């Protein structure tokens, strides 16, 4: 029976909230090639394009709400025991704030957070809800025009890797939800979890690039599959007590 759980989410968990996934059928992310908006080189070349792209994504958060998958994961977080034997960590690749708005607390944003700005002058991070295009002043050091989206771009190091690696090394269940298995290191978490002896489960609308590395795959929308999984986990846990 699972006691120490690590859950990885990707764009598919937010799809039913109306947040577009990264890889649409045309391979574009909201009309842009990833290299044009999600690399440090793109930011050096055309900072206004990159800032306005993320400003639009940040502003769009006001129009979307957590869906049943986010709510179910928050329910699991509040009910799952915390202690020597039990643990739970939700790792999201998403930069939206829907997990925390649903109430998840034991969670990490490994690819950054749209609602955070990073000052390249003083290296501080500040909660941010407005635009960055108009070169606002850093509230910590007062320098103007040095704030960038606090997003991990291609070629940059994902956040919190030491904590994630530790949790994977102790996990007895790893669940991946709504991610295409395209982007490392997240795409390799299933292998680390298996190496640690964990059971592995994938929930996705379709087969992903990583499906054959999971012990089990369930196909369907996250808004249906995730609440059912959480019911199972909490049901088994309470009957074991």
Q: How far is the CB of 212 from ligand OAD (least distance, A)?
A: 14
Instruction: Report how far residue 135's alpha carbon sits from residue 120's, in angstroms, rounded to the nearest whole number.
Output: 12
Which is closer to ligand OAD, CB of 182 or CB of 216? 182
Instruction: Report how far residue 236's alpha carbon sits from residue 233's, in angstroms, rounded to the nearest whole number.
Output: 5
Q: How far is the CB of 28 from ligand OAD (least distance, A)?
A: 11
User: Regarding beta strands 107-109 and 87-92, do their DSSP bridges make them parallel or antiparallel, or are they unpaired?
Assistant: parallel
Which is closer to ligand OAD, CB of 64 or CB of 121? 64
Describe the crossing of helices 222-240 and 68-79 by its angle, rounded to 10 degrees.
20
Which is closer to ligand OAD, CB of 87 or CB of 221? 221
Exposure string of 111-144, with b = 16+ CB inside 10 Å and e = fewer, is bbbbbbbbbeeeeeeeebeeebbeeeebeeeeee
Q: How far is the CB of 200 from ligand OAD (least distance, A)?
A: 16
Q: How far is the CB of 3 from ligand OAD (least distance, A)?
A: 26
Which is closer to ligand OAD, CB of 143 or CB of 212? 212
Two tokens at 75? 């329910």
- If you write DSSP's letter for every residue of 180-238 in order, what string do you get? -S-STTGGGHHHHHHHTT-EEEEEESS--TTGGGSSEEEES-HHHHHHHHHHHHHHHHH
Q: Which residues contact 186 (CB under 8 A, 6 or more apart)?
A: 8, 10, 91, 93, 110, 158, 179
Which is closer to ligand OAD, CB of 143 or CB of 165? 165
Q: How far is the CB of 146 from ligand OAD (least distance, A)?
A: 21
Q: Which residues bind ligand OAD (CB under 6 A)?
A: 10-12, 15-16, 21-23, 34, 38, 93, 111, 152, 154, 178-180, 182-183, 204-206, 208, 221-222
Q: Residue with structure tokens 């609602």?
A: 115
- Residues noted as catalytic: 111
């Amino acid at each position: 029976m699972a006691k120490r759980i690590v859950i990885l989410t990707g764009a598919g968990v937010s799809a039913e909230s109306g947040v577009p996934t990264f890889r649409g059928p045309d391979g574009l992310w909201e009309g842009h090639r990833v290299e044009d908006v999600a690399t440090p080189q793109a930011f050096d070349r055309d900072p206004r394009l990159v800032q306005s792209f993320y400003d639009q994504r940040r502003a769009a958060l006001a129009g979307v709400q957590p869906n049943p998958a986010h709510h179910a994961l928050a329910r699991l977080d509040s009910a799952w025991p915390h202690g020597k034997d039990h643990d739970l960590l939700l790792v999201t690749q998403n930069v939206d704030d829907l997990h925390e708005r649903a109430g998840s607390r034991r969670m990490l944003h490994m690819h950054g957070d749209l609602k955070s700005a990073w000052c390249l002058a003083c290296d501080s991070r500040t909660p941010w809800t407005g635009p960055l295009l108009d070169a606002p002043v850093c509230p910590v050091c007062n320098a103007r025009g040095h704030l960038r989206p606090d997003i991990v771009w291609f070629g940059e190091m994902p956040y919190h890797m030491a904590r994630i690696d530790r949790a994977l090394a102790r996990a007895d269940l790893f669940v991946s939800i709504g991610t295409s298995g395209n982007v490392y290191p997240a795409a390799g978490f299933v292998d680390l979890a298996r190496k640690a002896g964990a059971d592995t489960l994938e929930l996705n609308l379709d087969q992903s690039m990583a499906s054959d590395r999971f012990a089990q795959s369930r196909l369907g929308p996250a808004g249906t599959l995730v609440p059912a999984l959480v019911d199972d986990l909490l049901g088994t846990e309470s009957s074991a007590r």
